[in-house]
């Protein structure tokens, strides 16, 4: 397995994975997520893949995209109340159904960590939905700890 930056030619396979991860969320929170949709359109994916401040890494075996990690550079420059540390935010990480449990996710995650270290980021952050306990468990095994908690009251 190789990990590299996503290419436009990867978009059809990334779209398949986006559908898979969206359906996990739709199953857990059908009040918020529409099943059988994707987080990004094809045009948005093309724009994201071309944006140096939003790197997308893919785990590939031959021509098969087995997983991806969407990342976003974040920094609060000239903030009144926050330091201007550079954060690499993992917007989405997914491993193809049928390939989970083969350390693809941990390999992708560790690649992102190494990338962030090499680029001088202060930290790596992400959000995980409480309706996805397997993802939360995975991230805890990777050494992540909560740093803020989102809460809601459904009206």
Q: What is the pLDDT of residues 89-147, one digit of tens each?
A: 999 999 999 999 999 999 999 999 999 999 999 999 999 999 999 999 999 999 999 98
Which tokens in the block code for residue 87? Answer: 């954060």
pLDDT band at 86 (very low <50, low <70, confident <90, very high): very high
What is the number of alpha carbons within 13 Å of residue 28 lying toward its C-beta? 14
Least confident of 3-12, 19-28, 146-155: 146-155
CATH architecture designation of domain 2-141: 3-Layer(aba) Sandwich (3.40)
């Amino acid at each position: 397995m190789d990990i590299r930056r996503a290419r436009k030619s990867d978009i059809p396979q990334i779209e398949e994975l986006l559908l898979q991860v969206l359906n996990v969320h739709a199953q857990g929170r059908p009040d918020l997520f529409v099943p059988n949709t994707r987080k990004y359109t094809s045009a948005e994916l093309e724009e994201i893949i071309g944006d140096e401040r939003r790197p997308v890494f893919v785990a590939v075996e031959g021509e098969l995209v087995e997983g991806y990690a969407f990342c976003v550079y974040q920094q609060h420059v000239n903030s009144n109340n926050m330091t201007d540390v550079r954060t690499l935010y993992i917007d989405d990480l997914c491993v193809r159904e049928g390939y989970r449990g083969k350390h693809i996710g941990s390999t992708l995650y560790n690649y992102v960590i190494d990338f962030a270290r090499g680029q001088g980021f202060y930290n790596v952050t992400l959000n995980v939905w409480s309706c996805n306990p397997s993802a939360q468990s995975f991230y805890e095994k990777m050494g992540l700890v909560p740093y803020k908690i989102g809460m809601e009251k459904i009206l």
